[in-house]
Amino acid sequence: MKTITLAQGNGGEENNELINKVFYKNFKNEILDKNEDAAVIHGGELAFSTDSFTVSPIEFSGGDIGKLAVCGTCNDLAMMGAQPKYITCAVILEEGFEQRKLEKIVNSMKKELAKNGAVIVSGDTKVVPRGSVDKIFINTSGVGEIQQKGISSNNISQDDVIIVSNSIGKHGATIFAAREGIELSSSLQSDCASLWPVVKELIDNGIKITALRDATRGGVSAVLNEWAKQSDVCIEVQEGDIPICDEVNGICEMLGFEAMNLANEGTFVLAVSKDQANKALEILQAIEISKEAKLIGEVTALHNQKVILNSPWGTSRFLDTPTGELLPRIC
The CATH architecture of the domain made up of 31-146 is 2-Layer Sandwich (3.30)
User: pLDDT tens for residues 89-114?
Assistant: 999 999 999 999 999 999 999 999 99
Binned at pLDDT 50, 70 and 90, residue 5 comes out as confident
CATH superfamily of 160-318: PurM-like C-terminal domain (3.90.650.10)
* Of 34, 35, 36, 38, residue with least CA distance to 49: 38
Report helix, strand or coil for 78.
helix
Integer Cα distance of 176 and 285 in angstroms: 28
Give CA angle at 165 (164, 169), nearest 5°: 75
Characterize 10-32 residue by residue with b for buried, 16 or more Cβ atoms within 10 angstroms of its Cβ, and e for exposed: bbbbbbbebeeeeeeeeeeeeee
User: pLDDT tens for residues 118-152?
Assistant: 999 999 999 999 999 999 999 999 999 999 999 99
- Check if the beta carbon of residue 29 is closer than 8 Å to that of residue 127: no
User: pLDDT tens for residues 42-68?
Assistant: 999 999 999 999 999 999 999 999 999
Integer Cα distance of 119 and 112 in angstroms: 10
Q: Averaged over 271-294, what is the pLDDT?
A: 98
Binned at pLDDT 50, 70 and 90, residue 17 comes out as confident
Integer Cα distance of 78 and 83 in angstroms: 6
What pLDDT shows up at residue 15? 82
What pLDDT shows up at residue 325? 66
What pLDDT shows up at residue 328? 66
Integer Cα distance of 271 and 66 in angstroms: 30
What pLDDT shows up at residue 323? 75
Instruction: Locate all alpha helices (DSSP H) within 41-147, ordered by sequence.
Output: 65-78, 99-116
Domain spans, the chain = 31-146, 160-318
* Helix H or strand E encompassing 128: strand 119-128
What pLDDT shows up at residue 21? 87
What pLDDT shows up at residue 12? 72
Task: Report the amino acid identity of residue 186.
Answer: S
Burial class (CB in 10 A: 0-12, 13-18, 19+), 249: middle
The dihedral through the CA atoms of 245, 248, 250, 252 has a sign that is: negative
What pLDDT shows up at residue 185? 63
Binned at pLDDT 50, 70 and 90, residue 4 comes out as confident
Evaluate whether 31-146 and 160-318 have a shared fold.
no
In the predicted model, is pLDDT for residue 255 greater than 90? no
What pLDDT shows up at residue 109? 98
In the predicted model, is pLDDT for residue 170 greater than 90? yes
Integer Cα distance of 298 and 285 in angstroms: 19
Cα atoms in the Cβ-side hemisphere of radius 13 Å centred on 206:
4
pTM for the structure as a whole: 0.95
What pLDDT shows up at residue 179? 81
* Of 3, 13, 7, residue with least CA distance to 321: 13
- Check if the beta carbon of residue 230 is closer than 8 Å to that of residue 326: no
Average pLDDT, the chain: 93
